[in-house]
Every structure is written in C-alpha cells, then in structure tokens.
Amino acid sequence: MERRLAAILSADVVGYSRLIRNNEAGTLATVKTHRERLFEPIVAARNGRIVKVMGDGLLIEFASAVEAVRCAVDMQHYVGIGNADVRQDERVRYRIGLNVGDIVVDQGDIHGDGVNVAARIESLADPDGIYMSANVFEQVKTKLDLTIQDLGTHEVKNISEPVHVFSLALDDKAATIVSPITPVAKKSGKSVPVIAASVAAALVVGTAAWWQPWSSALSPDAEEQAAPVSGKPSIAVMAFDNLNNDPSQNYLSDGLSENILTALSRFSDFFVVARNSTFSYKDNPADIQQVAQELGVRYIVEGGVQIAGDRLRVTSQLIDATTGQNIWADSYDRDRQDIFSVQDEITRTVASLLSTNIDLAEYSRLKHRPTESLGAYELRKRAQEEWFTFTKDGNIRAEELSAKAIALDPSYAGAYVENAWAHINGYRWGWTNTLTRDASLVRAFEMARKAIELDPFNFKGHWVLANATTQSGNLERAAALYDKAISLNPNSASVLADSIDPLVYGGNAPEAVERMKLAIRLNPHHQDWYLWNLGWAQYFAEDYEAAKASIEQMNEIPDGLKRTYAPVLHRLGLVSEAQMVIDEFLIANPDFTIQEAKSAPFESEAYLTRWLDDLQRLGVPDAGE
C-alpha cells in the first residue's frame, strides 16, 4: 500500500432515490451520459483519475488542488448547460466536495481521512454547489480569481475535529476559467473520445441534440441513413499513410494528422473525432462508409506523406462518407530542409481549405431543403449563405433567417453571430428594412456580445464583434478583438482576411495587402470577398494595376465594391469605364453621398481625402444635392 498527499473530489447526485423512483431508465441513462461525455474527459483534461464510480457518485483524485477546483467548476458548468431545457424535477444535479489530505492507495482504490473529509464536505454542499476544505482554499486563493465564501466550521460524522468549510460561487468569475472539453461517444462497447471545438456551443444547440449527438434531427432519407450524423458537420481525420514504408518516418505522417485534427477542432462549427478513435483504424484498412457509421461522422479526411530526396510530399482529400463522393483533394510539394515549419504550413493550409470545402458541402447539402422544416443550425447556415451574396435582398433574408434560428434556439451562439453580420451590413450599406442604420450597428453589438456570452470560446463571436467595433471607429479595440479571434483559431484564413480593416482605416494599407496575400495563400480556394478586400487594400496602397487585377478576378463585382473599383479605374486613366461603374453604383444606391462616405471610420486623413476626392471627380453628390 502507498501513502501520499492528494486533492480529492467527491461528487454525488442530488435526490438520486427520488429520480430513480420517478424515472429509473432515464435517470440511469443521464448519469451514464454525464460520466462518459462530461466527467471522464474533464477529469482527463485536468490530469485527474476517476478512482471509482458508485452508482450515484464519483471519487476522483488529483495531484493539484487547483486542477481539482477547475475540474469541479467545469463539471457543474456543463451539467448546468445540459439541464437548461430539462424540467426542474427531472434534472440530474450534483453536489461536490473537495479536500486535500493524506490518502492510502490500495490496488487502485484510495482510503483515509483525506477521502472521508471530502465525502463529508460534499454532503454539506448545496445542489449544484461546490464546497471545499480550508486546505483546498489555502492552495487556490492566490492562484484562481474566484468568489469563495467562508461558511465556518462544521461537525461532521466520523471526523473527530470540526471541518472548516468554504463555498465556491458559480458566477462570472468561475465562468472565466471554464475550458472546452472532449465529450465521449461509444464504439464497439469501448469508450472513444470525440473532440468538440467548443462543447459549450455543442450543448446549447439543444438538450435533445446533445443527449444523442450522432442522431439526425432531419427527416431520414437514404443519404442521411448512411451515417448517423449530428446537426453540425462531424469530421474524422484518419491517420495519414506513411508512403515511404519506413516505420522511422511514422512521426511525420502521424504528426501531420494530429496537427490537422487539432487545427480543425478550433472551428466551433465542427465536431471532430479525437485521435484515439481515428488512429484505431491505422494499418487496418476499412470501408469509408463503415468507418463513418462506427464513428458517427459525415466527413472523412485522409491522406499520405512521403519523403523523396530533399522534398516532402503530402496528399490530402475530403470525402463525404454518406455518399462516398470526393469533395476536395490536393497535394503539396515542399522543401524538406525545415521540415517542421513545412508541416505547420501544410497544416494551416489544409485546415483552412477543409473548413471552406466543408462549408461549401454543407451549403450544397442544405440548399434544397424546405425552409419550414429547418432546425436552428440549418437556418443559421442559410443566413450565412444569403448575406455572403452581398446584396440588399440577400442581407434582409439573412437577418430574417438568423432571427428565426434565434427564436428556435435562443441559446445557439452561431445564430447570434449571423444576425450580427446581417446588422453590420445593414449599417454599412443601408441593407435593412426594419431599423435605421445607427440602430443596426447597436443591434450588431448586442448580437455579437450575446454570442460571446453563450460561447466564450467561439472565435466567430469575437470576429463579428471586432468587425462591429471597426465600424464604430474604435480601431485599437477592434485590432485587439481580431487578435483574440485569431488566437482562438489561428487556422481561419477568413478571420485573417477580415482583420485588415483596422489596418487600412488606420493608414497601413501595405501591411494589409501582405496580410491579405497570406490569407489567400492559406485558402487559395477562397470566396470572392477575399479579392474585394485585397483590391480595396491595394487601392489605398496606390497599387492601382494590382487592385484592378484583383477586383476583376471576382466572379461578379458587387455594388458595394464599385465605389472603390471606379476610383481605381479613374486613377489608371480609364475615365469612361470609371464613370460607367460609378453610375451603376449610384443607380443601385441613390442615397449615397460624399457626406455618407465621410462617415467611414478612417483615422488616416490622407486615405480618406484621396477616396473622397476620387468620388467627387466621378460625380458622387454632396449631401442635399
């Protein structure tokens, strides 16, 4: 037997006997789901060990009191989200007690006063509460910024000395230390971890969807039955093949697969199956559709890595496992000299391309479904597609569709993100039928902040807030928000591309051009708005030939861009073409004036003056003319 000091977490279901009496099967299923999809991955992430499960409770050991407290906060946070739409009398809730003390380890089990005190403190805790001993409080009070209340000393059963107890409040401070977690699915009777980019986002989509994450909420048809998928796109990154057949090179193929998996996990719109699951198929070829069914995913990523002389060659492809269709494939040939930098470059590029192509595949899949039958996720994706048309009608439809998604699921952060984008466009271009332009910007801020409140780890919430902040003219704050979005997902080329706005408005167009070029390298199959941004930055960088070339690569030049395209043509001496473009713009936007152009959030007087001068030469009227 081993004796050591440890932090102990004791958790117990509140009112377990009553819950079992009222709904035995449902209660047992929920407790099991909590354990497998919440507690096991949370404990693993906090470097803890589940010592034993006791029907209605758990005993968990940690080497660190700080990790034990963080684990307790995560557990109560995510259980609370899962309970949000469950009737009060049917909720499975927990009390948690924490202690640091001496324990005795015997064949994996633990005993001693350290364990007993944790169990007694747990029995004192309120439902949904976290209580701790003085030993725990002393360990964490200077390390974690939490609200902790002193409850004094308590006499407890079978403990000779009174126990000094503290309670931890699950308030805004506690919410700041909550981390994304890795829920767990089942495969062939074994636990298999499944990474969600942000479980908060997954949970709030709806309790029913979360309890059965691989079941389809849509009407079943042949395609849907091919793999039991969730509402959001679910992805498995298989172990890449080592095409050299040299086991010593496995670190390259394995490392690249893991890096791509991790990069995709940052996209909060996706469910990405964890390494332990996908790597179980390594060296054991299996039918793609069978793999998809076993893992519960729609999309499969696979590829291969080969070293040939001084070159590193990588192939990758994305497959829709429900149909067997190859959606995208590409290959990369790089100098092997700096192999890990090359690996990082390929990882970022593949992750960005995959996210774009998965989005396109989702658009195609959802396009022909009748709007009336759509769930919140599909309404949100339709809204995104509509405002990407960059037209007034499309933006108004995006506003309506995202509002329907919010009404259907008020806890869905993604729906608020799309609604915020629609209102930003309403402010910038006047593309709204319901609000004034200033009111649209106010609403955009409200929607963006609500998205972040619901899902603090969703990079898209910080992204849309950054854009709204740019429109308000606070460029320094906007740049910081873009940095936050990029830190949450450095693999999103689109965030990088959109983040050039503060640079241009602030007078640093050359840097904006370089940033846009990097975004395009990361996502060479980008949407047209990348070229819009690039051409806009090149105009202010006075590279008019390049600006013209970028804009004319677009499939269609939207009206909003014509007020930049016309000045580009004018600067190149193409006066008649410039006049025709600005006339088209003014026909579509008859209320546009020099006064309105002045409201753009430029800090650079030189950039603003150049643009206004060009617009005036082209005949854009002053206000009131």
Do 62 and 144 fall into the same domain?
A: yes
Q: Residue 292 is part of which domain span?
A: 184-212+231-319+338-360
Residue type, 376: A
Distance CA 79, CA 445 (A): 29
The per-residue pLDDT for 487 is: 78
Q: What is the pLDDT of residues 208-263, one digit of tens each?
A: 222 222 222 222 332 333 333 335 677 888 888 888 877 777 767 777 777 777 66
Residue 110 shares a structural domain with residue 205: no
The answer on 203 and 152 residing in a single domain is no
Q: Kindly report whether the global pTM for this prediction surpasses the value 0.85.
A: no
In a domain, 540, yes or no: yes
Of the pLDDT bands very low, low, confident and very high (cuts 50, 70, 90), residue 207 is very low
pLDDT bin (cut points 50, 70, 90) of residue 369 is: low
Count CB neighbours of 147 within 10 A. 12
pLDDT tops 70 at residue 196: no
Q: Tokens at residue 443, please? A: 């609403």
Evaluate whether residue 577 is within a structural domain.
yes
Residue 288 falls inside a structural domain: yes
**Lowest-pLDDT choice from 145-159, 160-174, 219-233:** 219-233
Res. 75: pLDDT tops 90: yes
Q: How confident is the model at residue 275 (pLDDT cuts 50, 70, 90)?
A: low
Contacts of 285 (CB under 8 A, 6+ apart): none
| SS3 assignment for 221-289 | CHHHHCCCCCCCCEEEECCCEECCCCHHHHHHHHHHHHHHHHHHHCCCCCEEECHHHHHHHCCCCCCHH
The total of other beta-carbon atoms located within 10 Å of residue 519's CB is: 23
CA distance 544 to 414: 38
Average pLDDT, the chain: 80
Which of these, 550, 583, 554, lies nearest to 566 by C-alpha position? Answer: 583
* CATH number where 96 lies: 3.30.70.1230
- DSSP conformation class of 337: G
Asked if residue 198 and residue 154 are part of one domain, the reply reads no
pLDDT digits (tens, 9 = 90+) for 333-348: 877 766 666 666 666 6
Last residue of a domain, one of 127, 152, 175: 175
Q: How many domains does the chain have?
A: 3
Comparing 80-84, 586-590, 591-595, the range with the smallest average pLDDT is: 80-84
The answer to whether residue 481 is domain-embedded is: no
Structure letter (DSSP) for residue 106: E
- Report which residue type is found at 267: F
Residues 207 and 356 occupy one common structural domain? yes
Query: CA-CA distance, 354 to 523, in Å (whole number)?
Result: 9
pLDDT of residue 205: 27
Least confident of 326-335, 510-519, 598-607: 326-335
Query: Are residues 303 and 161 part of one domain?
Result: no
Enter the DSSP assignment of 155. -
| The predicted structure's pLDDT at residue 114 | 86
DSSP symbols for 344-374: HHHHHHHHHHHHHHHHHHHHHHHTTS-GGG-
Same domain as 167, residue 206: no
Cα radius of gyration (the chain)? 28
Q: What is the pLDDT of residue 112?
A: 84
Is pLDDT above 70 for 371? no
pLDDT above 80: residue 502: yes
Q: What percentage of residues in the chain have a pLDDT greater than 90?
A: 36
Q: Which range has the worst mean pLDDT, 67-81, 191-205, 277-291, 477-491?
A: 191-205
Residue 396 lies in a domain: no
| Whole-number Å distance between alpha carbons of 423 and 438 | 10
Q: Is 390 part of a structural domain of the chain?
A: no
Helix (H) or strand (E) holding 301: strand 299-308
Of 41-45, 278-282, 477-481, 562-566, the one with minimum mean pLDDT is 278-282
Report yes or no on 409 lying in a domain: no
Do 139 and 204 lie in one domain? The reply is no
Regarding whether 260 and 171 lie in a shared domain, the answer is no
Please say whether the beta carbons of 366 and 381 come within 8 A: yes
Asked if pLDDT for residue 158 goes beyond 80, the answer is: no
User: Does one domain contain both 203 and 310?
Assistant: yes
Does residue 46 sit in the same domain as residue 162? yes
CATH number, domain with residue 277: 3.40.50
Of 330, 360, 390, the domain-final residue: 360
Q: Does 350 have pLDDT greater than 90?
A: no
Quote the pLDDT of residue 478: 93
Report the range of poorest mean pLDDT among 68-72, 157-161, 413-417.
Answer: 157-161
Same domain, 278 and 349: yes
In a domain, 280, yes or no: yes
pLDDT of res. 333: 81
φ and ψ of 363, to 5 deg: -60, -45
Return the sign of the alpha-carbon dihedral for residues 60, 65, 70, 73.
Answer: positive
d(CA 610, CA 595): 15
- Which of 269-283, 296-310, 326-340 shows the lowest per-residue confidence on average (mean pLDDT)? 269-283
pLDDT, one tens digit per residue, over 10-37 is 999 998 888 888 888 888 888 888 888 8
